[in-house]
Amino acid sequence: MGYIGFLISAVSLVFMLVAIIPFHGWLNWFLVPFVCIGLVTSLMGVQRNNGRVLGFIGTIVCSIVLIISAIRLIIGGGII
């Protein structure tokens, strides 16, 4: 599960970099649920012995992406 969480976190990081570009903020609506799934799978990978390091890295990256995406939605008026 740690490998899957790391893969999801890497993909979500690329999408976050695209969502920072003006007029692409709508990607954050799809990014937040995707990152939440990645965070859960990364945490499951940390709990199990296989893929523990990648799960930990995935947890950190997903947390950072989730915070930045949520702040971007709040600033843009998407979440009140």
Residue-wise pLDDT tens digits, 14-72: 999 988 887 887 888 899 999 999 999 999 988 887 768 888 999 999 999 999 988 88
Sign of CA dihedral 30, 58, 44, 5: positive
pTM: 0.84
Answer for the pair 2, 55: CB distance below 8 angstroms, yes or no: yes
Q: What is the pLDDT of residue 48?
A: 82
Q: Which of 9, 13, 27 is nearest to 72 (CA)?
A: 27
Q: Which of 78, 73, 65, 79 is nearest to 10 (CA)?
A: 65
Q: Give the length of the chain.
A: 80
Q: What is the pLDDT of residue 11?
A: 94
